[in-house]
Amino acid sequence: MFKNNIDLDVFIQMSKNTLGDHLGIEFIEKGDDYLVARMPVDHRTKQPFGLLHGGASVALAETLGSIASVLCLDDPAKEKAVGLEINANHVRSVTEGWVYGKVSPIHIGRRTHLWDIKITNEEGKLVCISRLTVAIV
């Protein structure tokens, strides 16, 4: 499904000095039609009550979906993938450790991509489920 065989190291370099870098997001796996990244639950990603901030989960989800869309572009030098809409349901709290996001396609069209992102804790329990629509411009 991915048209570009971009190595994960490229995303690591592209992420320097971005929100994902600030939040500690790390890409850890690339499959034929999915990506996995992880994010620490620490002082950068917690809300004042010591729980993983929902906005941090959404940032992880959008980061994964946007990068997955870039991998689907015919020519990333001429096209850009930009977030159009995102929603998230937060189903379990996390206070420490890591959360893992996995993005999978729902629809890959010519001008829009729709992604399913599941975020889990270290035990594999669902923390957040998100859907991202990406516009191709």
Q: Judge whether 3 lies within some domain.
A: no
Which among 26, 62, 85, 122 is annotated as catalytic? 62
Confirm whether 31 is domain-assigned.
yes
pTM of the model: 0.95
The total number of structural domains that make up the chain: 1
Asked, for residue 97, whether it belongs to a domain, the answer is yes
Domain residue limits at 35: 8-136
Q: What is the pLDDT of residues 43-82, one digit of tens each?
A: 999 999 999 999 999 999 999 999 999 999 999 889 999 9
Residue 1 falls inside a structural domain: no
Report the length, in residues, of the chain.
137
Is 56 buried (19+), middle (13-18) or exposed (0-12) by CB count in 10 A?
Answer: buried
Question: Does residue 80 lie within any of the structural domains?
Answer: yes
**122 is known as an active-site residue:** no
The reported pLDDT for the residue numbered 64 is 96
Cα separation, 97 vs 29, whole angstroms: 19
Q: What is the CATH number of the domain that holds 16?
A: 3.10.129.10
